[in-house]
Structure 1
Amino acid sequence: MNRAEKAKVIEDLRSKAQKASIAVITDFKGLKVEEMTELRVKLREENVDYQVVKNTLARIAFGETQHEALKDQFQECCAVAFGYDDPVVAAKILVQFAKKSKKFKTKCASLEGKFLEPDALKELSELPSKEQLLAKALGTMNAVPTNFVSLFANLLRNLLYALNAIKEQKEEA
């Protein structure tokens, strides 16, 4: 690989790292091509890039990005997953794949500049996705006015029952 190609790879990695909300370093040593292809397809469906990298070039590329904490973690067989939209989705796919495949491991990650150990990445993968959290928040926000309207309607209904009872008593008397 000549200098121009290396510079292009470094720039490509740097631009992906700057756009990504999460970057996860994985060890794929001993993985079969079919397994790697299966992982790539799953990740691509969720808008996550997965790229095998040369350690030296990756260290240089990550040097001036928000994921700089990862630059010293590139050793042996490394690949990087870049998650752009929802960091939980990328973590879920990679952790589930690591459970399924004994040879695949997640080494570490950087979530918007914060370094995550494999255990923290596993905890992140157990969180609900962004859409699920938004749905819960909207459900909670919708419940408050709905409960208020129901409470107010019950008060008016009880008042109406009381007025009807008074009316019936006066008619009988």
Structure 2
Amino acid sequence: MSLIITIAVIVLLAFIYISLRNGLIGKKNQVANAESSIDVMLKKRFDLLPNLIETAKAYMQHEKTVLTELTELRSQANSATSTDEKAALDKQMSTALSHFRVAVEAYPELKANENIDTVLRSMNEVEAQLSASRRSFNAAVTDFNNAVEMFPSSIIANSMNLKTLPLFEIPEVERQNIDAAALFNNK
């Protein structure tokens, strides 16, 4: 009888181990999938930039620095490989796009242009999708980190050499309220 109990305990422990290990692998893959979704949205954003820049060039002779910055960031994004690099470029791109939107406000003929309006609406849609992708990524990372740190899955995570992952965070500068008056006075 004790042999049956011992075998049952071993089978139960093996089942628990396999379940926890598979759960960790699934969570790790969800993080990778969420990160890939961010990459897809960033690619979509960068693909829209040439249309935005070319349409705006005709109107924005005085704002060439903003257009040049957007062009440079787009070319850098094509060579980014690490998650940290992509996150840093994404933050820079978000800042540059917000400066671009402020610049567009100063050009009524540009705001009235149907092409720029269409591209800006598309860009706003991509930004909303990118924001949703970031939230999805952070949810997947939080779920993964909880599994890596909580007992008993933490034991298996350590044996698999899994470590907690950083959340996608915005820089402190972007957390502050925007002083719109100061933005318009910098012209």
Alignment TM-score, normalising by the size of structure 1? 0.28
Structure whose alpha-carbon radius of gyration is higher: 1
Alignment TM-score, normalising by the size of structure 2? 0.26
Q: Which has the higher contact order (CA 8 A, sep 6+)?
A: 2
> Where is the helix percentage greater, Structure 1 or Structure 2?
2
> Where is the strand percentage greater, Structure 1 or Structure 2?
1
